[in-house]
Structure 1
């Protein structure tokens, strides 16, 4: 809602500046006094609030800076950068902590946020053709939710995203830990599976980045969901670590395809006036449900074993694929400008 009200670039710049200032302030605080839990809690709370504004704003930027037929490539680049950051970040953090301690780590993070801010300031977007009509915040929020509900593609697509990301937005990491413990593979075994998952996801991002066109994107997305469902069940029943690693890479590859294509379809089909609010809804579906699902993972594994958790993940992905295949507008979706970007779905 904030991104739609004030513009995605402006919101992204301001929120990134706040993140930079908070981290640098934390670095100064650690230099002047010993770090405390309350400092970390305060930083985490502020970050949570600012990220809730920053992420939808950044998600609303791609249609303003590239052509619709390039959105899948942009999403692939974004996924690839995230995977590379996840790989390099811990190594960099460990090195900085050894050399400069907590103050050095906060300072380094602040410098990285400053570089991010400078990069955002260089981004130029296509201005919206329509002048937004300001209404109250609650009315704009209600308008966004009604837009999603009435749109013939977005309503089922957001549901598909929620189902497909339900297990893979966080709970699967807990499931991998418990699976490795149950099978006696230990922490190193869990690390191998998680690494394979990341490699598979990076491979999907790279493939989509170099692909000039994704024909029948909706059908490809549904096929990837079916493969993810099969891979999740197979991972839960893997008899040895090498087999688990193989299926972990498969899940990373196919779930990466799904995430990238659903994101590109959201950006292609959504009216730019509502894109920030729609991205907020999908972010809530992918990240907001994770804290609620973590206890469910532990209870499921404790009662029925880790394999049952992965069977459940497979069933949910299968349900998402079935929903996508049952909705013609999703099944036949293409990554090109669509007339369905009206609230009523055209």
Structure 2
């Protein structure tokens, strides 16, 4: 990898050699756990909805609030004590928490205080776990294999998302919240066993123990703010999160309702986006990213913007599904190019802190965008809000192409 801050190359050209067994085992374990988590989150939301919409919102907030507030601390802890150690600790805590939830459900039912307390535990663990797990591909594969490894991770994550909610619905119907929690406990036990076995080839040097965690957080922010590649990459991530993420989850159902299409059509639109993301991730894992990796990320935003425009103008559900596939393909293309760019460009000593900042800008942008776009959809209509997302995606893509440090970034020759 070129020295940090150069604009010639940050990501090595993709290697066609097989990914390490340790990475594939880690990937399988974490994707299985992600599927179990998605199923449990559905069950948790279902249980919370029995207490009314406001309580369901409180439970979701109990997850997102501590996760957002503690993310930077979680990144600093990962760099100080090691990502593997943080992940093992998080898996142990969550295994105990989901087993306790299964028992508590049998004893007390589903009182609001229990649901909120468990959600707060989930959000807190996520704040430390997400930066650590986000840095693991860099620790387990060579730089040449990083783009393919992360594309495969993206594909696995999308499959987990697609399977998680339906699995949760089946488990809730058959075994209730307790049974779903026990299934999730099994996935945590599996990934814990994997993490005990898997050891990174090289563990990054921790930052000096004389430096406090707060100073470590500030140092991570400074590194990103001063770097000519990481700074615009994270700004582009914020714009993408604001423009891409709310469309199908928030605006898709609103569009279906306003057109009288029904919930089935909204579900098909969401499935279309998921299929597009999966297709882009599998294609990148197979063929590798575009050599000008920064340009590839910007072109992904452009493709998603075209999909938004088509979705806003869709006259029937079938056209909306096709448009959603284009949105998903653009989103997947963006993620599969920007993810390796950021991870490869981070200094070895700051891997978890850079990942925590990446997660933080996504979460913060999404919170703002959901409220702004929701207000616009109410004040005007869902099509206007989706059209605004199209404009935002187009502007972000053009701005990225106009930034030399991203536009000129390319994979080094093998």
TM-score of the alignment, normalized to the shorter chain, above 0.5: yes
Does structure 1 residue 244 correspond to structure 2 residue 301? no
Aligned counterpart, 1:23: 98
Which of 271, 282, 286 is matched with 2:347 structurally? Answer: 271
Q: CA deviation at 1:96?
A: 2.3
Aligned counterpart, 1:344: none
Aligned counterpart, 1:340: none
| Superposed counterparts of 1:127-142, under 5 Å | 127-128=202-203, 130=205, 132-134=207-209, 135-142=211-218
Q: Which runs of 5+ in 2 are unaligned?
A: 1-75
C-alpha offsets along residues 64-99 of structure 1, whole Å, 9 cap, x if unaligned?
A: 111112212111111111121122222322332233
* Pair 1:212–1:304, CA change in 2 (3 A): closer
Q: Partners in 2 of 1:139 and 1:207 — Cα distance? A: 41
Q: CA deviation at 1:131?
A: 5.6
Aligned counterpart, 1:173: 249
Which of 172, 175, 179 is matched with 1:100 structurally? Answer: 175
Aligned counterpart, 1:341: none
Aligned counterpart, 1:4: 79
Q: Partners in 2 of 1:121 and 1:80 — Cα distance? A: 24
* Pair 1:212–1:310, CA change in 2 (3 A): closer
Q: CA deviation at 1:18?
A: 1.2
Which of 154, 175, 182 is matched with 2:258 structurally? Answer: 182
Aligned counterpart, 2:145: 70
Q: CA deviation at 1:298?
A: 2.1
Aligned counterpart, 2:162: 87
Q: CA deviation at 1:210?
A: 1.4
**1:311 is paired with a residue of what secondary structure?**
helix
Which of 327, 338, 342 is matched with 2:403 structurally? Answer: 327
Aligned counterpart, 2:15: none
Q: Which runs of 5+ in 1 are unaligned?
A: 338-346
C-alpha offsets along residues 196-215 of structure 1, whole Å, 9 cap, x if unaligned?
A: 10011111111111124542
Q: Partners in 2 of 1:201 and 1:31 — Cα distance? A: 39
C-alpha offsets along residues 111-154 of structure 1, whole Å, 9 cap, x if unaligned?
A: 11111222222222132464631211111111111100110111
Q: Partners in 2 of 1:109 and 1:311 — Cα distance? A: 39
* Pair 1:186–1:99, CA change in 2 (3 A): closer
Q: CA deviation at 1:187?
A: 0.7
C-alpha offsets along residues 206-230 of structure 1, whole Å, 9 cap, x if unaligned?
A: 1111124542111111111111112
Aligned counterpart, 2:363: 287
Aligned counterpart, 1:119: 194
Q: Partners in 1 of 2:205 and 2:350 — Cα distance? A: 12
* Pair 1:130–1:290, CA change in 2 (3 A): closer
Q: Partners in 2 of 1:38 and 1:336 — Cα distance? A: 54
**1:168 is paired with a residue of what secondary structure?**
helix
Does structure 1 residue 60 correspond to structure 2 residue 126? no
Scaled by the length of structure 1, the TM-score of the pair is 0.93
244-253 or 286-295, larger mean C-alpha shift = 286-295
- How many residues get paired? 337
Q: CA deviation at 1:258?
A: 0.3
* Pair 1:131–1:52, CA change in 2 (3 A): closer
Does structure 1 residue 303 correspond to structure 2 residue 391? no
C-alpha offsets along residues 278-319 of structure 1, whole Å, 9 cap, x if unaligned?
A: 111110111233233322222101112111111111122122
Q: Partners in 1 of 2:319 and 2:83 — Cα distance? A: 44
* Pair 1:131–1:115, CA change in 2 (3 A): closer
* Pair 1:167–1:213, CA change in 2 (3 A): closer
164-173 or 12-21, larger mean C-alpha shift = 164-173
Q: Partners in 2 of 1:260 and 1:35 — Cα distance? A: 40
Q: Partners in 2 of 1:70 and 1:97 — Cα distance? A: 40
Q: Partners in 1 of 2:269 and 2:355 — Cα distance? A: 30
Give the conservation status (yes or no) of the 8 Å contact 1:222–1:325.
Answer: yes
Q: Partners in 1 of 2:239 and 2:175 — Cα distance? A: 43
Does structure 1 residue 34 correspond to structure 2 residue 93? no
